[in-house]
Amino acid sequence: MKRLTISFISFLTALFGWGQTTAIPVYLDETKPIEQRVEDALARMTLEEKVAMCHAQSKFSSAGVPRLGIPENWMSDGPHGIRPEVLWDEWDQAGWTNDSCTAFPALTCLAATWNPEMAALYGNAIGEEARYRNKNVLLGPGVNIYRTPLNGRNFEYMGEDPYLAARMVVPYVQGVQSNGVAACVKHFALNNQEQYRQQVNVEVSDRALHEIYLPAFKAAVTEGKAWAIMGSYNMYKGQHCCHNQYLLKDILRDLWHFDGVVISDWGGVHNTQEAIYNGLDMEFGTWTNNKDWGDSNAYNAYYLANPFLRLIREGKVKEDALDKKVRNILRLAFRTTMNSKRPFGSFATPEHAAIGLRIAQEGIVLLKNSPLTPKKTDVVLPVDFNKTKKIAVIGENAIKIMIIGGGSSSLKSKYEISPLEGIKQHVGDRAEVVFARGYVSDQLNKKGEIKHDGMFINDAIDARSRDELLSEAVATAKNADLVIFVGGLNKYNGQDCEGSDRKGLELPYEQDKVIAALAKANKNLAVVIISGNATAMPWVNDVPAIVQTWYNGTEAGNALGAMLTGEVNPSGKLPFSFPVKLEDVGAHAWGDYPGAKANGGIHERYNEDIFVGYRWFEHRKIKPLFAFGHGLSYTSFAYGKAHISAPSLSEGETLTVSLPVRNTGTRTGKEVVQLYIGDEQSSVVRPIKELKKFLKIELQPNETQEVSFTLSVEDLKFFDENAQQWTAEPGKFKAYIGSSSSDIRQTVGFELVKR
């Protein structure tokens, strides 16, 4: 290490022509504080060099300062894997042969693990992959709240609850940044739909903003110490969020003291003056002067390029406005590309695939596993090989490639194990596995090919009619001991895909008809839904077993196969509620999704306010199809009596809620113990209860563990719009402890008092 340092100094001596006694410039001296290095580098830069750092020079890079040895910034789309290289000025892939990554599970799966340890593993592994590919900014994770099940981009986010998302995002960010790669948390803020995303002006109360839509971002910044934030496409208070004074200056900078860079979403900048003064640092993807996206001359016409430079030269904008941005960008460089202690990373390794497999296994949710008849106790899952010698796997999603499509999170993975492959591998020679397609998607082009992000998938073509496919599926099901239907959504436009929302809650391609027919053909039926969103299930009472899984990446099939055969005991819990019908969702029952045209734009009112997800269902006394936090196991857990350490709590104090949890089944399993708080005496309308703590534990058969949660006044607060601050009112509160938001096993009361 000593010899390496001497060599580096020799290199600098040769590069800058220093004599042996010349000191290293402050900005290159890593022993100096970062802020001192930033100021030194800033003082050495020309006006043109500073402006060049504030806007893109290619699709995914921005300029450094070669004269000073400050590298370029290189971004990569995430948050589920490192995107394949694209051409300098185009979206098409560059055709590299060494950029096939590990595809990690979608963030809905990570959230469904309810395990921050998995988030830390995920962040570190994807950070290693980004570092190996020499990216210094990972464009992820996403933490926008699941407001409607129609949002095409929900699969990239962490569910409907702000506390769950906050607890999962912090270790993810820390893991990524431990590799010298900035996590760029997105999309800040209120980007809760894809329809009208570039123009919708969101109207939401301050209370809902702070209680529901901001907490995960706040945790990423104040606890995770995120080095980058990406603005969102939509508008708030009449300003685009990529240069929104209230969000980027008043909240992000002044309230949360964010010292990282604010990066625009690609094409999210619309105004030079607002971009200069309202908190944006780096502009990407802008379409200027009616030029094509691929026109390399367009970069100098960006809002923060020549127009910015011209305003400074003309004296209409002070250079200090530019310096504020460049300071943030230089700070990014010193934390990433100019940090000599950055690890080298690793890429598409077996270790990373194994991490993705662990996350996928912990995130799969067993929604239902009922006895076949009321008088019997046997269930469909896990597969009983004493009774099962022939398994029929039916459904296009069993063979479909899922790592590509979906928009910016589309990947080129080293490999992807399909559900059919995974089931076959884990069944082995214990049973025969046969396949029938059952249904076919219809995103074919004129040549009869399916195209995803520049890649043609010819093996997905099936010219048979839906009736022919259904007849084959039913016949196959009748001759099997067990039927596993693998369907759900995919990542085509109008399904789970950036740039478009779903048209409805139902399954596409007449899958409901297929499932109903299979249920009549064979009572031993397990339905596996792959999606990033809730779906309607009109057949729910006719199917004994239902599994919710996700876009689980490289090892998706192996994770599913291990769960179905019982090698892995399912432990995932839903990160969002499943409604029976779309009208049961607050954004559709009371809000005006997707917005209405008024005053020359699209305006959308979040009339449901703080009542999002389970908060809405409980407030309106609506029974969900499956509740937030729900998830079954192949074992069972008993909750003992809850105890509280003190009957009251006051400012500066804490109290403890504890209870024993025992594994009463015959298998080792994991349970997520969830604690919710309800305010019994509030002066404002509050949810019946809100998630405030959770813990995932693993228990052997007959093992008991004491689970404890510590509560403080912070856990009791709501956002007071009049005072513009978080407030807790004295009075009675109740702690609800259970296995889901609707499966509460214990309650205990206490009081908040003034001492």
- pLDDT tens for residues 436-449? 999 998 755 445 45
Around Cβ 386, how many Cβ atoms within 10 Å?
A: 7
Question: What per-residue confidence (pLDDT) applies to 45?
Answer: 98
By C-alpha distance, which of 489, 659, 635, 486 is closest to 568?
635
Tell me the C-alpha distance between 91 and 267, whole Å. 13
The answer to whether 504 touches 148, Cβ cutoff 8 Å, is no
The answer to whether 231 touches 188, Cβ cutoff 8 Å, is yes
By C-alpha distance, which of 452, 461, 468 is closest to 510?
468
Q: Is 285 helix (H, G, I), strand (E, B) or coil?
A: coil
pLDDT over threshold 50, residue 456: no
Cβ-proximal residues to 356 (8 Å cutoff; 6+ apart), any chain: 102, 103, 104, 105, 125, 552, 553, 554, 555
Identity of the residue numbered 697: I
Provide the whole-model pTM.
Answer: 0.95
Lowest-confidence region among 227-231, 359-363, 409-413, 478-482: 409-413
Question: What per-residue confidence (pLDDT) applies to 591?
Answer: 83
By C-alpha distance, which of 261, 278, 362 is closest to 570?
362
Question: What per-residue confidence (pLDDT) applies to 293?
Answer: 46
Taking the alpha carbons of 705, 700, 120, 410 in that order, is the dihedral positive or negative?
Answer: negative
Structurally, at CATH architecture level, domain 2-89+102-335 sits in: Alpha-Beta Barrel (3.20)
Residues forming beta bridges with residue 587, ordered by sequence position: none
Q: Give per-residue pLDDT as tens, 713-724.
A: 999 999 999 999
The answer to whether 583 touches 188, Cβ cutoff 8 Å, is no
Residue 429: phi and psi, rounded to 5, are: -95, 15
Helix (H) or strand (E) holding 477: helix 466-478
Residue 58: phi and psi, rounded to 5, are: -155, -175
Cβ-proximal residues to 324 (8 Å cutoff; 6+ apart), any chain: none
Residues in the chain: 755
The answer to whether 556 touches 360, Cβ cutoff 8 Å, is yes
The answer to whether 525 touches 506, Cβ cutoff 8 Å, is no
Return the ∠ at Cα 493 (arms to 489 and 494), rounded to 5°: 65
Helix (H) or strand (E) holding 727: strand 725-727
The answer to whether 267 touches 286, Cβ cutoff 8 Å, is yes
Question: What per-residue confidence (pLDDT) applies to 17?
Answer: 54
Per-residue pLDDT averaged across 34-57, rounded?
98
- Note the helical H segments in 369-445: 419-427
Tell me the C-alpha distance between 107 and 120, whole Å. 13
Residue tagged active-site, from 77, 161, 265, 281: 265
- Note the helical H segments in 140-228: 162-177, 206-208, 215-222
Q: Give per-residue pLDDT as tens, 690-702.
A: 999 999 999 999 9
Per-residue pLDDT averaged across 55-66, rounded?
97
Structurally, at CATH architecture level, domain 350-575 sits in: 3-Layer(aba) Sandwich (3.40)
Establish whether the linkage from the previous residue to 348 is cis, with ω within 30° of 0: no
Q: Is 677 helix (H, G, I), strand (E, B) or coil?
A: strand
Q: Where are the domains of the chain?
A: 2-89+102-335, 350-575, 635-755
Per-residue pLDDT averaged across 182-202, rounded?
97
Question: What per-residue confidence (pLDDT) applies to 64?
Answer: 98
- Catalytic residue check, 743: no
Per-residue pLDDT averaged across 476-483, rounded?
98
DSSP-assigned letter for residue 28: G
Tell me the C-alpha distance between 550 and 155, whole Å. 8
330, 332, 333, 334: CA torsion to nearest 10: 90
The answer to whether 634 touches 231, Cβ cutoff 8 Å, is no
Question: What per-residue confidence (pLDDT) applies to 2?
Answer: 38
By C-alpha distance, which of 442, 446, 481, 477 is closest to 462?
442
Please state, for a pLDDT cut of 90, what percent of the chain lies above it: 89
Placement of tokens 């999002």 in the chain: 612
pLDDT over threshold 70, residue 292: no
Tell me the C-alpha distance between 143 and 165, whole Å. 6
Question: What per-residue confidence (pLDDT) applies to 16?
Answer: 54
Q: Give per-residue pLDDT as tens, 76-117.
A: 998 999 999 999 988 899 999 999 999 999 999 999 999 999
pLDDT tier, 371 (very low <50, low <70, confident <90, very high otherwise): confident
The answer to whether 395 touches 485, Cβ cutoff 8 Å, is yes
By C-alpha distance, which of 428, 617, 396, 386 is closest to 510?
396
Cβ-proximal residues to 703 (8 Å cutoff; 6+ apart), any chain: 662, 663
The answer to whether 123 touches 171, Cβ cutoff 8 Å, is yes
Tell me the C-alpha distance between 691 and 559, whole Å. 28
The answer to whether 737 touches 750, Cβ cutoff 8 Å, is no
Tell me the C-alpha distance between 511 and 513, whole Å. 5
Q: Give the tokens for residue 559.
A: 């994770």
Tell me the C-alpha distance between 189 and 232, whole Å. 6
Q: Give per-residue pLDDT as tens, 350-362.
A: 999 999 999 999 9
Question: What per-residue confidence (pLDDT) applies to 460?
Answer: 63
Sequential DSSP letters for 450-469: -EETTEE-GGG---S-HHHH
DSSP-assigned letter for residue 750: E
pLDDT over threshold 60, residue 381: yes
Residue 21 Cα distances to 4, 10, 13, 17, 655, angstroms: 19, 12, 10, 11, 61
Compute CA 414 distance to the chain's CA centroid, rounded to the nearest angstrom: 22
Q: Give per-residue pLDDT as tens, 235-244.
A: 999 999 999 9
Mean pLDDT of the chain: 93
Tell me the C-alpha distance between 61 and 49, whole Å. 15
Tell me the C-alpha distance between 83 and 408, whole Å. 8
Structurally, at CATH architecture level, domain 635-755 sits in: Sandwich (2.60)
Per-residue pLDDT averaged across 402-420, rounded?
94
Tell me the C-alpha distance between 504 and 460, whole Å. 24
Question: What per-residue confidence (pLDDT) applies to 443?
Answer: 54
Please state, for a pLDDT cut of 70, what percent of the chain lies above it: 93
The answer to whether 370 touches 73, Cβ cutoff 8 Å, is no
